[in-house]
Amino acid sequence: MPSKEHGGSSVVSLRLPDTLLERLDRYCDWMESHRGEPSSRNHAMRQALTQWLDRQEEQGGMTHPDVLRQHFHAAYTSLRSGQDEVDIHRLRHLLNWPSERFDAVLEQLRAEFQVAYTSVSQATSAMNSGVTAMK
């Protein structure tokens, strides 16, 4: 069962074969000695898992623009509740995409006039902005 010590992250226990752990240690040593970057097993594993998942999502078509638009539209529709405006932070939370992906899809939809931004006031943060007119 994952432990929730820090907001937005979980501790996961993982058993690795000794040979894989030795390779990981060699990689961490190399990062420190050749690149001068401090590296830890946890950092290296997080980075490797992130890159692997990114490749898997891309190969599986999960990051194809049409698929991303469909997911965005479905999230928008599910949050609408009969209103035209949906808070951006609620869309971000529901989709749970990397920030760069969410921002790119939102900007692409805005550039294509598929969505429009609205704001309560000029002083309101982007978190309180909304998206309207999803087509």
Burial of 3 (0-12, 13-18, 19+ CB in 10 A): exposed
pLDDT band at 123 (very low <50, low <70, confident <90, very high): very low
35-49 tens-digit pLDDT: 887 889 998 999 899
pTM: 0.53
Query: Candidates 1.10.10, 1.10.3720, 1.20.58, 1.10.3470; correct CATH number of 65-132?
Result: 1.10.10
26-36 tens-digit pLDDT: 999 998 888 88
3-state helix vs strand vs coil in the chain, percent to 5? 55, 5, 35
Please state the domain extents for the chain: 18-59, 65-132
Residue 3 has pLDDT above 70, yes or no: no
